[in-house]
Amino acid sequence: MQVYVKLYATFRLKYKDYDVPGGICLELPPGSTIADAMQALEIQPEKVSLLRKNEVITKDIHAALAEGDVLEVFPYVGGG
């Protein structure tokens, strides 16, 4: 199945040709979880401050993904 991962801040900087509106398209086996998607992108869960699946905030990295899901992954940021 295909899922889309949108990366933000320093996570995004690792990809020179990052596609801003679309994110990264991942091909994952059916039944894969958010944790699997993060592992595929070498993102350590402890470095993630906020996750959204299909625009809904979630903390459950073991939640299953479905075809076409959009995952958004944010590292720790601050300022203002």
Partner 1 sequence: MKFLRVDMSAQTVKFEEPGEAYKLYGGRGLIAKILTEEVDPACDPLGPQNKLIICTGLLAGTSAPTSGRLSVGGKSPLTGTIKEANAGGTAGWMMSRLGLRAIIVENAAPGKCFILKVGSGTAQLLPGEAYAGLNNYELVARLQQAFGEKIGVISIGGAGERGYRNSTVQITNTEGYPSRAAARGGLGAVMGSKGLKAIVLEPGAAPVVTYHDREKFNSAVKSYVQGIKAHPVSGEAMPALGTAVLINIVNAMGALPTRNFSSGSFEGAEAISGERLAQLQAERGGKNGHACQPGCPIGCSNIYKDEKGEYLTSGFEYETIALNGANCGIASLDAIARIDRLCDDFGLDTMETGTTIAVCMEAGRIPFGDEKGVMALLQEMSDGTEFGKVLGQGTAATGKYLGVQRIPTVKGQSIAAYDPRALKGTGVTYATSPMGADHTCGNSILEQNVAPTQKEGQVEVSTNLQVGMATFDSLGLCIFSGFCTADPANIGHLVDMLASRFGGAWDVNKLFSIGIDTLAMEKKFNAAAGFSKTDNRLPRFMLTEPLPPSNSVFDIPDEELDKAIPF
Cβ 34 vs Cβ 53: under 8 Å: yes
Cβ 65 vs Cβ 73: under 8 Å: no
Stretch that binds partner 1, among 30-38, 60-68, 70-78 (CB under 8 A): 70-78
- Nearer to partner 1 by Cβ, of 21 and 29: the residue is 21
| Near partner 1 by CB under 8 A: residue from 36, 40, 52, 70 | 52
Contacts of 32 (CB under 8 A, 6+ apart): 1, 3, 64, 65
Q: In the complex, which residues of this chain contact partner 1 (CB under 8 A)?
A: 8-10, 12-13, 20-21, 47, 49-50, 52, 55, 57, 72, 74-80
